[in-house]
Amino acid sequence: MNLIRSKASFLIMCLALVAVCAIAAPAQSGRRQPKAPSVAPVPTPTPEATPEPAKQEKRSELAFIIASERYSGLESYPLSYYDAVMAGCSGRLRSASSATVDVSQNDISRGDAIKKAKAETTTYVVLVKLKLDEMTARSYDDLEVEFTLFAPETGKVVTFGTAYQNVNQAGPISTGPRTRGANGPMYREQFLKRAGEDVAQRILKALHLDNVPVVH
């Protein structure tokens, strides 16, 4: 009798366990599963722009060296007068062409200028010299500027001439010495500077580069 009760109790416990599992299963299946945390997308690195190489300006092959013969004569003149002539000449050459212009501060003789020109390949040598005509000159107001242009490699003379202190000078044609009236070294230097511009203008004409007018 006890055995029958034991079996009955065990059977009831099994049925109860099956019923509990049957009820729990739908509950577990209906439970919402938690979502996995979203992962932020990894940004694609933007390639840096490659900087363009800086463009180098092409340097003109044409060049000039302006020098002066200061101490070859018996009489010497203020160095500022030579500086004024070379400043006018170099400024004019630069403004009228793409040429490179160097101004020498050393005294150069004609022979040295020829040697220097022969040693160059594309650089012309301009030699200037102040001169005072002893027959007609009365003061430094009558100073004249003699110039010679030497060709590179050969050292041959391309052009030469004389420029005067004349405020009315125009282009490559020189007039006579300027009219007297204004005195003083500083004032005279301005006229010598213009004489240097006249030298440059005639050089440009000889090289067929005289398409820019002189501006005083």
Fill in the DSSP letter of residue 149: E
Instruction: Place 209 in a pLDDT band, splitting at 50, 70 and 90.
Output: confident
Using the predicted structure, report yes or no on whether residue 16 has a pLDDT greater than 50: yes
pLDDT at 165: 86
Express each pLDDT in 179-194 by its tens digit: 444 557 788 899 999 9
**Tens of pLDDT, residues 85-99:** 999 999 999 998 888
Alpha helices in the chain (DSSP H): 2-30, 79-96, 110-118, 185-206
Query: Which one, of 84, 80, 128, lies nearest residue 108 by Cα?
Result: 128
Residue 144 and residue 49: Cα distance in Å, rounded?
61
Q: What is the separation of C-alpha 117 from the centre of its chain, rounded to a whole number of angstroms?
A: 26
pLDDT at 84: 96
CA dist., res. 93 & res. 198, Å (int): 10
* pLDDT confidence of residue 19: 65
Kindly report which listed range (19-23, 37-41, 173-177) carries the lowest average pLDDT score: 173-177
Contact partners, residue 207, CB within 8 Å, separation at least 6: 124, 158
pTM of the model: 0.64
Q: Is-contact 128 92, C-beta < 8 A?
A: no
pLDDT per residue as tens digits for the range 115-145:
999 999 999 999 999 998 777 767 778 899 9
